[in-house]
Structure 1
Amino acid sequence: MNEKVKKEAIEWMKIIATALIFAVIITQFIKPTLVRGESMYPTLEENDYLIINRMAYKIGDPKDGDIIVFSTELLQEDGDRKDLVKRIIGVSGDHIKIENSKVYVNDKLTNEPYIHDNYTEGNIDIVVPKGKIFAMGDNREKSLDSRYEDVGLVNEKDVMGKVMIRLFPFNKIGKVN
């Protein structure tokens, strides 16, 4: 009897240790996040539950059109830094110009079928410096993003990951573009 209990205890310890190892590995590669606000509408909506790939930019570079989650200096009500979900418009070396509600990247008018109301406020003319990203929400009228001093250009080191999958609501489960 004593030997049987000992063997069972060892098996349980193996199972728990394996589960803990998998949990640590998974949390190093992916991170869940919840959408707050309307800044990414219609692509993402309030309370969409997302999975972000934390390793995406450790093995590759950010590129235009990627949807990212990044940390800002803005504070939430609880005093923690606020994370934002936005779309990359320009990366290091890109010339970004916003004029007459149109967005140009490297002197080419962008095709942005994902934006809400097809209007982009602001007059911007900037070359994105090394190590920085210019990001905006898809719902430009409701988005606090790189056009505004409160957010500004995103430091690449502040990018937590690339949005990969929407898990909730269930009728919209799938890859996010």
Structure 2
Amino acid sequence: MIFDFSFILTVATLVTGVIWGLDAWLWKPRRLERAAAAGTPAENVREPIVVEYARSFFPVILIVLVIRSFLFEPFRIPSDSMMPTLLDGDFIFVNKFAYGLRLPVVNSKVVDIGAPKRGDVIVFRLPSDPSVNYIKRLVGLPGDHISVRRQRVFINNVPVPVTLDGTYEGPRNTGVQADAQQGIESLDGVDHRVLFIPERTESSRDYDQVVPANQYFFMGDNRDNSRDSRFPEVGFVPEENLVGKAVRIWLNWDLPDAPIWNRIGDAIK
């Protein structure tokens, strides 16, 4: 069980729904009976303030819970590990039904809709601390042999195509050096941009593992400044930890450059 905002929404929905239901089924008829015995018209009988609030808030909270749990949930990008695809300060929508519908709080899947694909940008719960959400790009599927050597990714001993595309000239923050090199990488036909720090070629974090069954291997697009599945504190991510697929940027707000207007509405590729 995960005690997050979904937990708060679920509890609030249950509490307001139970109060409203008990009033309609039990308390309201008794109030009206007492009022009729006293000769008070039904339209003059006021409901308790707690019932009034429950009746008002229940449908609103329920709608928010359904949208966040089964359709789309907003997230804010808190770091530069996915640059240049996502910037610190991007606010994004995550498709919660892309990989199946899960019940809030208990996180158990009730409807299986689709499977993650290489190249998807995915929000997942950190295996070591499920209260923390990470966002990375899916690189390795269950059973894949993943190798990283001198900043180059190999999947089942086949190098992932990448073409260097000059020095990165986009928005910057502390996670991007002036000489950062931009590349175009292709994962199963999905082209996306990645960043490399040239002087880290020799000291880059090499890796060689086979992805276990029902688990996934993730990497950040800012390859030399991303804490991802290459690091033991992240490691492989179980299927049940997947939250959803990042699909679109709806706002960018990070001082002092906020907002970056031309990012609003961009699809996440």
Instruction: Tell me how far apart the structure 2 counterparts of residues 67 and 129 of structure 1 sit (CA, whole Å).
Output: 20
Question: Structure 2: which 5+ residue stretches go unaligned?
Answer: 1-41, 44-53, 101-112, 162-184, 186-191, 253-260
Aligned-pair identity (%): 33
Q: CA RMSD in A?
A: 2.8
Where does 1:46-125 land on structure 2 (aligned, <5 Å)? 46-58=88-100, 59-73=113-127, 81-111=131-161, 112=185, 113-117=192-196, 121-125=204-208
State the aligned residue count: 167
- Which residue of structure 1 lines up, in the alignment, with residue 244 of structure 2? 161
1:142 aligns with 2:221: no
Which secondary structure state, in structure 2, belongs to the residue aligned with residue 141 of structure 1?
coil
Amino acid in structure 1 at the alignment position of 2:215: K
- Which residue of structure 1 lines up, in the alignment, with residue 268 of structure 2? 176
- Decide whether the 8 Å contact of 1:98 with 1:124 is kept in 2: yes
Question: Structure 1: which 5+ residue stretches go unaligned?
Answer: 4-12
Amino acid in structure 2 at the alignment position of 1:55: F
- Which residue of structure 1 lines up, in the alignment, with residue 85 of structure 2? 43
**Deviations along 1:89-127, whole A, 9 cap, x unmatched?**
011111111123210112221131511027773222222
| Post-superposition offset of 1:86 | 0.3
- Decide whether the 8 Å contact of 1:69 with 1:86 is kept in 2: yes
- Decide whether the 8 Å contact of 2:151 with 2:223 is kept in 1: no
> Which is greater in Rg?
2
Structure 1 stretches of 4+ moved >6 Å: 13-17
Instruction: Tell me how far apart the structure 1 counterparts of residues 94 and 212 of structure 2 sit (CA, whole Å).
Output: 25
Give TM-score scaled by structure 2 length: 0.55
Give TM-score scaled by structure 1 length: 0.81
Instruction: Tell me how far apart the structure 1 counterparts of residues 66 and 59 of structure 2 sit (CA, whole Å).
Output: 11
